[in-house]
Protein backbone atom coordinates (compact mmCIF):
# COMPACT_ATOMS: atom_id res chain seq x y z
CA UNK A 1 0.00 0.00 0.00
CA UNK A 2 1.15 3.53 -0.80
CA UNK A 3 0.42 6.98 0.61
CA UNK A 4 0.26 10.11 -1.53
CA UNK A 5 0.06 13.75 -0.44
CA UNK A 6 -2.53 16.05 -1.96
CA UNK A 7 -0.03 17.55 -4.44
CA UNK A 8 2.54 15.81 -6.61
CA UNK A 9 2.95 12.25 -7.86
CA UNK A 10 5.57 10.94 -5.42
CA UNK A 11 4.47 8.37 -2.86
CA UNK A 12 5.52 6.81 0.43
CA UNK A 13 5.07 3.20 1.48
CA UNK A 14 2.37 2.61 4.08
CA UNK A 15 4.90 0.91 6.33
CA UNK A 16 5.33 0.82 10.12
CA UNK A 17 6.76 4.34 10.21
CA UNK A 18 3.81 5.73 8.26
CA UNK A 19 1.31 3.79 10.36
CA UNK A 20 2.95 5.15 13.52
CA UNK A 21 2.64 8.74 12.23
CA UNK A 22 -0.99 8.20 11.28
CA UNK A 23 -1.73 6.69 14.71
CA UNK A 24 -0.55 9.95 16.30
CA UNK A 25 -3.06 11.94 14.27
CA UNK A 26 -0.47 13.28 11.82
CA UNK A 27 -1.34 13.82 8.18
CA UNK A 28 0.96 13.51 5.19
CA UNK A 29 1.25 17.16 4.17
CA UNK A 30 3.90 16.78 1.47
CA UNK A 31 6.23 14.24 -0.14
CA UNK A 32 9.73 15.50 -0.87
CA UNK A 33 11.95 13.83 -3.46
CA UNK A 34 15.66 13.31 -2.90
CA UNK A 35 17.55 13.28 -6.21
CA UNK A 36 21.18 12.38 -6.86
CA UNK A 37 23.61 13.58 -9.54
CA UNK A 38 26.69 11.41 -10.22
CA UNK A 39 29.92 13.38 -10.59
CA UNK A 40 31.81 14.48 -12.47
CA UNK A 41 29.40 15.84 -15.06
CA UNK A 42 31.32 15.99 -18.35
CA UNK A 43 32.58 19.59 -18.76
CA UNK A 44 31.24 19.77 -22.29
CA UNK A 45 27.79 18.78 -20.99
CA UNK A 46 27.78 21.59 -18.41
CA UNK A 47 29.07 24.06 -21.01
CA UNK A 48 26.27 23.08 -23.39
CA UNK A 49 23.60 23.45 -20.68
CA UNK A 50 24.99 26.83 -19.68
CA UNK A 51 25.07 28.01 -23.29
CA UNK A 52 21.47 26.86 -23.77
CA UNK A 53 20.38 28.90 -20.75
CA UNK A 54 22.45 31.94 -21.67
CA UNK A 55 20.63 32.20 -24.99
CA UNK A 56 17.53 33.17 -23.02
CA UNK A 57 19.10 34.97 -20.06
CA UNK A 58 21.79 37.17 -21.63
CA UNK A 59 22.36 40.06 -21.82
CA UNK A 60 19.48 40.93 -19.46
CA UNK A 61 21.16 39.16 -16.53
CA UNK A 62 24.67 38.70 -15.26
CA UNK A 63 25.96 35.78 -13.21
CA UNK A 64 28.15 36.15 -10.13
CA UNK A 65 29.66 33.26 -8.13
CA UNK A 66 31.79 32.90 -5.02
CA UNK A 67 32.98 30.32 -2.50
CA UNK A 68 32.69 30.86 1.24
CA UNK A 69 31.07 33.68 3.18
CA UNK A 70 28.77 36.04 1.31
CA UNK A 71 30.53 39.25 0.20
CA UNK A 72 29.11 42.32 1.99
CA UNK A 73 27.65 43.76 -1.22
CA UNK A 74 25.48 40.65 -1.67
CA UNK A 75 24.14 40.22 1.88
CA UNK A 76 20.92 42.13 1.22
CA UNK A 77 20.46 40.31 -2.08
CA UNK A 78 20.69 36.91 -0.43
CA UNK A 79 18.31 38.02 2.29
CA UNK A 80 15.77 38.92 -0.41
CA UNK A 81 16.17 35.50 -2.01
CA UNK A 82 15.77 33.65 1.30
CA UNK A 83 12.58 35.63 1.95
CA UNK A 84 11.34 34.69 -1.51
CA UNK A 85 12.09 31.02 -0.96
CA UNK A 86 10.20 30.94 2.34
CA UNK A 87 7.06 32.34 0.72
CA UNK A 88 7.18 30.95 -2.85
CA UNK A 89 8.44 27.39 -2.46
CA UNK A 90 5.77 24.70 -3.03
CA UNK A 91 4.55 23.63 0.39
CA UNK A 92 1.72 21.21 -0.29
CA UNK A 93 -0.44 21.31 2.84
CA UNK A 94 2.42 22.27 5.17
CA UNK A 95 1.63 25.37 7.25
CA UNK A 96 4.63 27.67 6.87
CA UNK A 97 4.88 31.38 7.54
CA UNK A 98 7.15 33.69 5.50
CA UNK A 99 10.54 34.10 7.17
CA UNK A 100 12.16 37.39 8.15
CA UNK A 101 15.63 37.66 6.60
CA UNK A 102 18.04 40.59 6.64
CA UNK A 103 21.76 41.05 6.02
CA UNK A 104 22.69 40.28 9.62
CA UNK A 105 20.80 37.00 9.60
CA UNK A 106 22.53 36.00 6.35
CA UNK A 107 25.90 36.76 7.93
CA UNK A 108 25.12 34.63 11.01
CA UNK A 109 23.75 31.86 8.79
CA UNK A 110 27.01 31.81 6.84
CA UNK A 111 29.04 31.57 10.02
CA UNK A 112 26.94 28.68 11.30
CA UNK A 113 27.11 26.73 8.05
CA UNK A 114 30.81 27.24 7.60
CA UNK A 115 31.56 25.63 10.94
CA UNK A 116 30.71 22.33 9.20
CA UNK A 117 32.10 23.04 5.74
CA UNK A 118 31.81 25.70 3.06
CA UNK A 119 29.30 26.77 0.44
CA UNK A 120 29.43 27.77 -3.21
CA UNK A 121 26.95 30.47 -4.17
CA UNK A 122 25.81 31.62 -7.59
CA UNK A 123 23.34 34.45 -8.15
CA UNK A 124 21.70 36.05 -11.17
CA UNK A 125 21.39 39.82 -11.16
CA UNK A 126 19.19 41.88 -13.46
CA UNK A 127 21.67 44.02 -15.36
CA UNK A 128 19.84 47.35 -15.46
CA UNK A 129 18.15 47.34 -12.07
CA UNK A 130 20.78 45.50 -10.04
CA UNK A 131 17.96 43.43 -8.52
CA UNK A 132 18.85 39.85 -7.61
CA UNK A 133 16.74 37.49 -9.69
CA UNK A 134 17.88 34.04 -8.56
CA UNK A 135 20.09 32.11 -6.19
CA UNK A 136 21.51 28.62 -5.88
CA UNK A 137 23.84 27.15 -3.26
CA UNK A 138 25.94 24.00 -2.91
CA UNK A 139 27.25 23.03 0.51
CA UNK A 140 30.39 20.91 0.92
CA UNK A 141 30.51 19.21 4.33
CA UNK A 142 33.80 18.61 6.10
CA UNK A 143 32.45 15.22 7.26
CA UNK A 144 31.67 14.00 3.73
CA UNK A 145 33.25 16.28 1.11
CA UNK A 146 32.65 13.64 -1.56
CA UNK A 147 28.88 14.27 -1.24
CA UNK A 148 28.00 17.98 -1.59
CA UNK A 149 24.38 18.97 -1.08
CA UNK A 150 22.34 21.27 -3.29
CA UNK A 151 20.49 23.59 -0.95
CA UNK A 152 18.68 26.80 -1.80
CA UNK A 153 17.65 27.25 -5.42
CA UNK A 154 15.10 29.96 -6.14
CA UNK A 155 14.16 32.35 -8.95
CA UNK A 156 12.03 35.37 -8.10
CA UNK A 157 8.61 35.32 -9.77
CA UNK A 158 9.11 38.45 -11.96
CA UNK A 159 12.23 36.87 -13.50
CA UNK A 160 10.96 33.40 -14.31
CA UNK A 161 10.84 32.18 -17.88
CA UNK A 162 14.42 33.15 -18.75
CA UNK A 163 16.10 29.78 -18.01
CA UNK A 164 17.73 31.25 -14.91
CA UNK A 165 17.22 28.06 -12.90
CA UNK A 166 19.23 26.05 -15.42
CA UNK A 167 21.84 28.78 -15.76
CA UNK A 168 22.36 29.02 -12.00
CA UNK A 169 22.75 25.26 -11.54
CA UNK A 170 25.08 24.83 -14.51
CA UNK A 171 27.30 27.70 -13.37
CA UNK A 172 27.44 26.42 -9.80
CA UNK A 173 28.30 22.88 -10.88
CA UNK A 174 31.13 24.30 -12.98
CA UNK A 175 32.42 26.07 -9.87
CA UNK A 176 32.08 22.85 -7.86
CA UNK A 177 34.20 20.93 -10.38
CA UNK A 178 37.03 23.38 -9.72
CA UNK A 179 36.56 23.65 -5.94
CA UNK A 180 35.85 19.98 -5.19
CA UNK A 181 37.17 17.74 -7.99
CA UNK A 182 37.05 14.65 -5.74
CA UNK A 183 33.26 14.94 -5.18
CA UNK A 184 31.37 11.88 -6.38
CA UNK A 185 27.73 12.94 -6.33
CA UNK A 186 25.39 15.78 -5.34
CA UNK A 187 22.15 15.27 -3.40
CA UNK A 188 19.22 17.65 -3.58
CA UNK A 189 15.64 17.73 -2.25
CA UNK A 190 12.52 19.13 -3.91
CA UNK A 191 8.82 19.11 -3.27
CA UNK A 192 7.20 16.33 -5.28
CA UNK A 193 4.88 18.89 -6.90
CA UNK A 194 7.73 21.23 -7.95
CA UNK A 195 7.56 20.10 -11.58
CA UNK A 196 9.62 22.98 -12.96
CA UNK A 197 12.65 22.47 -10.73
CA UNK A 198 12.44 18.69 -11.01
CA UNK A 199 12.50 19.06 -14.81
CA UNK A 200 15.66 21.20 -14.57
CA UNK A 201 17.27 18.61 -12.28
CA UNK A 202 16.42 15.82 -14.72
CA UNK A 203 17.92 17.79 -17.59
CA UNK A 204 21.13 18.30 -15.62
CA UNK A 205 21.32 14.57 -14.83
CA UNK A 206 19.76 14.16 -11.36
CA UNK A 207 17.80 10.95 -10.80
CA UNK A 208 15.31 10.01 -8.03
CA UNK A 209 17.04 8.48 -5.01
CA UNK A 210 14.48 8.42 -2.17
CA UNK A 211 11.24 10.00 -0.93
CA UNK A 212 10.57 11.71 2.40
CA UNK A 213 7.30 12.61 4.08
CA UNK A 214 6.48 15.91 5.76
CA UNK A 215 4.03 14.97 8.51
CA UNK A 216 1.92 17.57 10.26
CA UNK A 217 -0.39 17.72 13.22
CA UNK A 218 -2.86 20.55 13.64
CA UNK A 219 -4.08 21.57 17.04
CA UNK A 220 -7.87 21.65 17.47
CA UNK A 221 -9.42 25.09 17.06
CA UNK A 222 -10.17 26.80 20.36
d(CA 93, CA 165): 25
Q: What angle do CA 191, 150, 5 make, to 5 degrees?
A: 10
pLDDT band at residue 221 under the 50/70/90 scheme: confident
Statement: residue 222 has pLDDT above 80: no
Polymer length in residues for the chain: 222
Q: What is the reported pLDDT for 87?
A: 82
Q: Which residue, among 114, 125, 140, has the nearest Cα to 80 in the 3D structure?
A: 125
- Among 47-61, 83-97, 121-135, 172-186, the minimum mean pLDDT is found in 83-97
Q: What is the pLDDT of residue 163?
A: 96
pLDDT at position 219 is 85
Crossing angle of helices 164-179/43-57, nearest 10°? 150
Q: pLDDT digits over 166-197, tens only?
A: 999 999 999 999 999 999 999 999 998 899 99
- Note the pLDDT tens digit of each residue in 21-76: 999 999 999 999 999 999 999 999 999 999 999 999 999 999 999 999 999 999 99
Q: What pLDDT score does 50 carry?
A: 97
Residue 107 predicted with pLDDT over 80: yes
Q: If you average pLDDT over residues 107-129, what whole number do you get?
A: 93
Distance CA 137, CA 127 (A): 21
Amino acid sequence: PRLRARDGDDELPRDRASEFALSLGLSLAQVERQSRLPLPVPPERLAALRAEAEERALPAYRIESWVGNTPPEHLDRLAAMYRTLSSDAPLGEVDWEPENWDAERVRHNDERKHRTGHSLFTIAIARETGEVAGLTELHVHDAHPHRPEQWTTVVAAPHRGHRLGLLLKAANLQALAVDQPEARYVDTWNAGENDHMLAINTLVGFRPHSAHGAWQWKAPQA
